[in-house]
Amino acid sequence: MAPPRGSAAYKKKDGTLALSKDGQSVSWTPVAPPGSKPALTLPLPIITNLQQTPASNPKVMLKIFAQAPGTSTPETHVFSFTSATAARAEADALKDALSKSIQTAKSGSALPGTPSGAGASSAAMAIASAVSSGRNAKGESDAWYDDSKLKQDVELQKSLLMANPSLSKTFMESLRTKPESISSSQFTSQFWSSRVHLLRAHAIEKNQTRGAYNVLSSIKPTTVDNEIKLSISKEQIQLIFNQHPLINRVYDENVPKLNEKDFWARFFQSRLFKKLKGERITDADPTDNILDKYLQYDDDTERAKRLMAAHVPHIIDVEGNEENHSQRKGNQPDLTMRPTSIDRVPIIRTLNALSEKILSHVAPNDVDPSLPIGVDEETFNELVLRDLQGDPEENRVILNIKDQSRFFNSDKESGLSADAILYAQQDPAKVLQSVQADLARVSSSTNLSTAIGVDSDSDSSDDDTSNPKKPHVGSKSSLSAATSQMLSLISAQRAQHDDLTISSSSFSTSQSSSTSGLSPLIFERLSLTHATTTEFLQHFWSAFLSGDATRAAEVSKLIETLSRAMDRIKAVAADAEAERNKEVEERRKKVQEFYDRTGKKRKVDYESIKGGAGAVNGLLAPTVRAIGVAKKEYERALREQGGDVNGV
């Protein structure tokens, strides 16, 4: 396809604006001297921005922002398209092509494309991808912290909804039941504005990629139709070249002669492959005349090079102290530790070297990045006597609390509490006297068993009827009343903790206790209704309290939705009640059968069958209360504002 071009005027001179053949630059050639060279050439990398006049504008202009490296301000070039008939089309074509090329240049590709490009242009590619990924990473990390970007990122939201089924259910359900006056986009933005942290976490999670791994050991041939097939992805090839630069060398030297497919086929069957994987080379392996030359390649020189790179501070340099090498003479080291027997157990060496290489690219975990990089700091920290340093200073922020007395003399401002009023009616001296006299009744020789007033022989019934008004301290009635209060507290606590512990407890025989007697279906509906109602309540409050007059209609529609939510809750309660009635019926029938069979009557406690409207109402009581509060506030505001209450 011919590179797009169009006749455009630049700086009041007619000419042609065209994209170059290789797509790497845009040039403008003036028309006046025919056949002249382009007067203005803009290479793509320096173009930062493109602007075009909208389609409604009769004038068609294209503005290109270019910032040459080394200059701090971008310069603009304005081209107005002069073609009589196809100005708009030309401009559009140019703009599309330009923006596409700029896009590809900016994003760069993570993979090298084809291995053939890997050799020569790997250096250039690496730099380009590093720059672009650097820019990308910065742009992305900005996006993570920019709330508005997260809220607009529809893709991210969709993937989060797919990953989190309960969230998607809530979203769909609320979307389905929302009032018509609220547009979908409004609703969506409201929905996500309270869940920005979820979006952020999801974005960061998605951005994590798998780290480098030992690629050679993961490549295994599959047998299909008696043929051995092997498939490698581009990413794996890239990793192979990274981890074994030897293969890179081999490839570069041999591929122009050999076909690429043949090269890889031979490689994976050769001894070289086995050696790099670390497996032992037996005599049964096929020999390969080209690849076996590289078997002699000594890995040691490379490792020595790496060691020289990592400077070991003298203070902890163990190898520097070679004279103390006890294994020189005497005990021969273990089979795996002997320096000459690489060929026997090559896998250990290979794996270790490979892991070291992979890890050297990963950011170190135990190094504090805020410390300066110099080695002296590290060794100094290792040498320093930590015990003598004293306590680390605490990071405390001083709050300037003005006028602390505010906190201490509030009694006078707020008025006296009921207790204080009662106390004020008492005479302090008399009070003290009475208390002291009371205390004198208990002395160190008091027999406690009589002092506590517990009479183990008394009949409980006597206490109740004989002296109902004033049981003494420690009487049976008071003790039993105390016991019953405690037991009710305990059972209330137990009911609270049931759903938490019941799933893990081995004593749960029926699942109904965790859902308080409701069937799973009803429970699901209930939780869904609750989630959507909470969502609408949130929406209502944010609209109501915002003071925005434009959202007034929204608020009124939300009130309608809330009443519909109430109806939904009632519907669920009715269903639950029907279910419970069914259960009661069944029990009744069973009892009847039992009676018919054996003639014995069995008492059934119908109250103990849990579930039904009672459970639903109990579970959702706070939500119902919240809806009531919202309605009340709204009606109150409505009355104050002079509007009439429409029976909402």
Partner 1 sequence: MNAVDGSDHYTKTSDEPPPSLLTIILDTNPHAWALLSPTLPLSAAIANLLVFVNAHLAFNNANRVAIIASHTQRAEFLYPLPAQETSSHTNGSAPQNGFDNDVEMADDGEPTVPPLSDDANHYRPFRLIQTTLLTALTTLLKTTPPSSLTPTTSIAGALTLALTYINKTTLSLSTTTSSTAPNADTTLAAETAPPALNPRILILSVSGDLAHQYIPIMNTIFACQRLSIPIDIAKIAGDTVFLQQASDATRGTYIKLDHPRGLLQYLMMGFLPDQTNRKYLVPPTAVGVDFRAACFCHRKVVDVGFVCSICLSIFCSPPEGAICLTCGTHLQLGEYGGKPVVVARKKKKRKNVEDGKGKDAT
Site for partner 1 in 490-529 (CB under 8 A): 490, 492-494, 496-497
User: Which two tokens mark 253?
Assistant: 């030297």
Residue nearer to partner 1 on the CB measure, 304 or 489: 489
CB of 469 to partner 1, least distance (A): 11
Gap between the Cα atoms of 578 and 366, Å rounded: 62
Gap between the Cα atoms of 570 and 125, Å rounded: 65
Gap between the Cα atoms of 294 and 246, Å rounded: 8
β-pair partners for 81: 8
Q: How many other C-beta atoms lie within 10 A of the C-beta of residue 167?
A: 17
Residue nearer to partner 1 on the CB measure, 400 or 509: 400
| From candidates 197, 314, 344, 406, binder to partner 1 by CB under 8 A | 406
Residue nearer to partner 1 on the CB measure, 86 or 626: 626
The interface with partner 1 within residues 320-339 (CB under 8 A) comprises none
The interface with partner 1 within residues 553-612 (CB under 8 A) comprises 555-556
Size of the site for partner 1 (CB under 8 A): 95
Q: Is 216 exposed, middle or buried (0-12, 13-18, 19+ CB in 10 A)?
A: buried
User: By the 8 A CB rule, do 625 and 537 touch?
Assistant: no
Site string for partner 1, 101-140 (x = CB under 8 A): ----------------------------------------
Residue nearer to partner 1 on the CB measure, 98 or 613: 613
Gap between the Cα atoms of 485 and 272, Å rounded: 82
CB of 571 to partner 1, least distance (A): 19
User: By the 8 A CB rule, do 198 and 138 touch?
Assistant: no
Gap between the Cα atoms of 50 and 113, Å rounded: 28
The interface with partner 1 within residues 409-428 (CB under 8 A) comprises 409-411, 413-414, 416-420, 422-424, 426, 428
CB of 490 to partner 1, least distance (A): 5
Residue nearer to partner 1 on the CB measure, 20 or 542: 542
Gap between the Cα atoms of 93 and 112, Å rounded: 29
| From candidates 401, 457, 469, 607, binder to partner 1 by CB under 8 A | 401
| From candidates 365, 444, 504, 608, binder to partner 1 by CB under 8 A | 444
Q: Which stretch in 11-19, 91-99, 314-322, 631-639 sits in contact with partner 1 by CB under 8 A? A: 631-639
- Kindly provide the residue ranges of all beta strands, DSSP E only, lying in 57-141, ordered along the sequence: 61-66, 75-81
| From candidates 120, 204, 304, 473, binder to partner 1 by CB under 8 A | 473
The amino acid present at 131, given as its one-letter code, is V
Give the Cα-Cα-Cα angle 183, 188, 192 (nearest 5 degrees): 155
Q: Which residue in 317, 252, 246, 255 sits closest to 275, CA to CA?
A: 246
| From candidates 407, 599, 601, 647, binder to partner 1 by CB under 8 A | 407
Residue nearer to partner 1 on the CB measure, 308 or 448: 448
Q: How many other C-beta atoms lie within 10 A of the C-beta of residue 638?
A: 17
Q: How many other C-beta atoms lie within 10 A of the C-beta of residue 635?
A: 15
Q: Which stretch in 42-50, 61-69, 375-383, 629-637 sits in contact with partner 1 by CB under 8 A? A: 629-637
Q: Which stretch in 185-193, 408-416, 568-576, 609-617 sits in contact with partner 1 by CB under 8 A? A: 408-416
| Binding of residue 632 to partner 1 (CB under 8 A) | no
| Binding of residue 436 to partner 1 (CB under 8 A) | yes
CB of 87 to partner 1, least distance (A): 48
Q: Which residue in 471, 306, 312, 330 sits closest to 379, CA to CA?
A: 312
User: By the 8 A CB rule, do 28 and 43 touch?
Assistant: no
Is the backbone of residue 152 left (phi > 0), alpha (psi -120 to 50) or beta? alpha
Q: Which stretch in 83-91, 146-154, 218-226, 545-553 sits in contact with partner 1 by CB under 8 A? A: 545-553
Q: Which stretch in 22-30, 96-104, 162-170, 452-460 sits in contact with partner 1 by CB under 8 A? A: 452-460
CB of 419 to partner 1, least distance (A): 5
Q: How many other C-beta atoms lie within 10 A of the C-beta of residue 266?
A: 19
Residue nearer to partner 1 on the CB measure, 469 or 600: 469
3-state SS class at 627 = helix
Gap between the Cα atoms of 517 and 613, Å rounded: 10
| Binding of residue 489 to partner 1 (CB under 8 A) | yes
| From candidates 10, 79, 251, 634, binder to partner 1 by CB under 8 A | 634
User: By the 8 A CB rule, do 179 and 557 touch?
Assistant: yes
How far is CA 638 from each of CA 82, 399, 547, 557, 561, rounded to the nearest angstrom?
Answer: 61, 42, 13, 14, 17
| Binding of residue 537 to partner 1 (CB under 8 A) | yes
What is the separation of C-alpha 523 from the centre of its chain, rounded to a whole number of angstroms? Answer: 28
| Binding of residue 478 to partner 1 (CB under 8 A) | yes
| Binding of residue 172 to partner 1 (CB under 8 A) | no
Residue nearer to partner 1 on the CB measure, 348 or 545: 545
| Binding of residue 193 to partner 1 (CB under 8 A) | no
The interface with partner 1 within residues 341-400 (CB under 8 A) comprises 387, 399-400
CB of 629 to partner 1, least distance (A): 6
Residue nearer to partner 1 on the CB measure, 359 or 629: 629
How big is the chain, counted in residues? Answer: 648
